[in-house]
A and B are shown apart, each in its own frame.
Chain A
Amino acid sequence: MNKILEVKHVSASYTTQGGAFSREKVQIVLHDVSFDLYEGEALGLVGESGSGKTTIARAILGFLPKYEGEIIHYSKRPQLIFQDPYTALNPARTVGWILEEPLKIYGKFDRAERRRRIIEMLENVGLSEEYMTRRPSELSGGQRQRVSIAAALIVRPKLVIADEPVSALDVTIQAQILQLLDDMRDKYGLSYLFISHDMNVVYQLCDRVIVMKKGVIVEDNTIDEIFDHPKHPYTRELVEASR
C-alpha cells in the first residue's frame, strides 16, 4: 500500500507569557509523534481534550506556525471537516457560492463545468440542486455538515482530516453522516484522519486507531486489536467507557 501521509518525530510546544508574578512556562503539546497514513485508510485519532490531537491536525494542515520534526504529504490539497457545522460555512454566502469557491480557486473549469460538479457533489451528499440558493442559516445541523463534506470533497482531495465531525449532531444524524463519510471513502478512494474523543464513533468508521495522551502516542493498532486487546491502561479506560 502507498503512503499518503508521513508524520515523523513531530514535537511542538508553546510558551506562556510570563506575567508580573509568574515566570514564562514552556508547555509541551506534542512529543515525538510519528505515524503513517495509507491510501484508502481511515485512521482514528483518539484522546481527551488537551491530548494534542487537534494540534497534530493543525500541523498537518500547515496552521501551526512552529514545530519540530517532519510532515510529508504524498497528496495535494488535504481538506478539513470541522466539528461545528455552524461556524464552518460562510454565513454571508449561499451553498452554491461556498461550493463553487474552491473550484474557482483551483480549477480551470468553466462556469458550466463548475455547476455540473456542484450539482453532482450535492447529490453525492444527499442534497438536491435547490440547496444551491440556500444560505447556511436556513439549513439544519445535519444539512450543514453535508454541505461541509461537499465543500471538502469538491476539489477531489485524497486526504481528508475530520475534526470531531459528528460530535455536535444528534445520534440519528451522527449515524447518517458517518455512513455518508464511509460511502465517500469508497467512491473517491479517500484516506481519513478522523479525530474524535468517542471510541464508538471511531469504531463505526476507522480501520486503525492511534490513542494519544498528553501529547504522546500511547497506542497504535488496528481497530479490532484496540477493542479486543487494549495494551495501555488509558486505552483500556477509553474502551471500557465506550461499552
Chain B
Amino acid sequence: MANSKQKNTWFLKVGLILTVFMVAVILIGQFWTPYDPAEQNVAAKSLSPSLAHLMGTDYLGRDIFSRVMEGAGTTLFIAFFVVLLGSAAGILVGALTGYLGGIVDTVLMKICDSITAFPSILLAIIILKVLDRPGKWTVIWVLAILFIPSFARVSRTEYVRIKKQNYISLARLEGASPARIMALHILPNAFPVLLPAITIGFNNAVLAEASMSFLGVGVSATEASLGRMLSDAQNYLVTGLPWYALCVGGTIVLLILGFSLLAEGLQQRRK
C-alpha cells in the first residue's frame, strides 16, 4: 500500500506542475508573445523548430509558438466559462434533486439521463452547426448546458449521501432553511468529490472545444483557438509542414494531460 501512496502524490504533483506551467504560459501569452502572432515574415517561411522559433514558423512565416500562446488563451477561456457555468448549474441541479427528492428529482434526472445517453460531442456538433453562429460564447453556452448533467449526477449522489447525516438533522432542528443547509452545511462536505469532477470538466471542455473548432463549427475564423489552428495545420501536413500540426496538437495534449493527471491525483488522494 505504501507503493500506491507514493504514486498518488506523484500524479497530483505532476498534474499540478504541468497545469500551472501551461496556464501560466497561456496567461503570459495574452500580454506578451516572443513575436507578434499575426506578423508575416516571407524570409522565415515554414521553418522547423529552433531556438529563435521554438515551434517553427507557418506557411506565412508567422511564429507558431506565439500563435499557440495566443490561441490556447481562447481555448482556456472557453473551458473556464464552460466549467464555471456548467458546474454551477449542475451542482445546483444535483443539490435540488438530491436534497429535496420527490417529483423534482424524478423529472430533472430523467431529463439529465436522456441528454447523457447521447455523446455530448455529437450533440454539440449538431447543435452548433444548426445554430450556425460561430463564436466563443456560442460554444460556451452550448457546451455548458451539455455539461450540466454530468456535474448534476456527481452532486446529486453527494447530496443524497450527506443529507442523511446526523449533523444535517441537527441543522434542520436549528431552523436552518433548505437553501442554507444545501449551501453552507452540505456543499463543503461534497467538495472533495466535486473538485475532481470539476477538474475533469476542464479536461472535457478543452477536448470538446478543440473538436468543435477543428470541425469548423466552434469559434469563428477570426478567433484563433487550438482546434481551429490544428484544422488549419492539417491542410499543410501533406505539403511537408508537420511541425505546425504536431506543436499545436502537442499543446492540446499537454493541456488535457495536466488536467487529467490533476483530477486523477485528487481522486486518489480522497481514497
Contacts and interface: CB of A to CB of B under 8 A. Distances in A.
Contact of B189 (A61, A82, A90, A101): A90
Given A90-B189, A91-B189, A93-B188, A101 B169 contact: no
A89 B189 CA distance: 12
A93 B165 CA distance: 14
Contacts of B166: 82, 84, 87-88
B174 A155 contact: yes
Contact of B174 (A89, A93, A101): A101
Nearest to A84: B166
A89 B169 contact: no
A106 interface: yes
A105 interface: yes
Given A90-B185, A92-B191, A79 B173 contact: yes
Interface of B: 165-167, 169-176, 180, 184-185, 188-189, 191
Contact of B180 (A61, A87, A105, A155): A105
Nearest to A91: B189
A106 B184 CA distance: 16
Interface in A147-171: 151, 155
Interface size class of A (residues with CB under 8 A): 20 to 34
A90 to B, nearest CB: 4
Interface of B is mostly: helix
30 contacts: A63-B169, A77-B174, A78-B173, A79-B173, A80-B170, A82-B166, A82-B170, A84-B166, A88-B167, A89-B167, A90-B167, A90-B171, A90-B185, A90-B189, A91-B189, A92-B188, A92-B189, A92-B191, A93-B188, A101-B171, A101-B174, A101-B184, A105-B174, A105-B175, A105-B176, A105-B180, A106-B174, A106-B175, A151-B170, A155-B174
A101 B167 contact: no
Contacts of A93: 188
Contacts of B188: 90, 92-93
Contacts of A101: 171, 174, 176, 184
A4 B181 CA distance: 29
A231 B224 CA distance: 88
A87 B175 contact: no
B176 A87 contact: no
A164 to B, nearest CB: 12
Contacts of A90: 167, 171, 185, 188-189
- A-B pairs, top 7 by smallest CB distance, nearest first, are A92-B188, A87-B166, A102-B174, A90-B167, A92-B189, A88-B166, A82-B166
A88 B175 contact: no
Nearest to B188: A92
Nearest to B167: A90
Nearest to A154: B174
B165 A87 contact: yes
Nearest to B185: A90
Nearest to B177: A105
B194 to A, nearest CB: 12
Contacts of A155: 174
Contacts of A80: 169-170, 173
A151 B167 CA distance: 11
Contacts of A77: 174-175
Contacts of B165: 87
Given A63-B172, A87-B167, A102-B174, 18 more contacts: A63-B169, A77-B174, A77-B175, A82-B166, A82-B170, A84-B166, A87-B166, A88-B167, A89-B167, A90-B171, A91-B189, A92-B189, A92-B191, A101-B174, A105-B176, A105-B180, A106-B175, A151-B170
A22 to B, nearest CB: 25
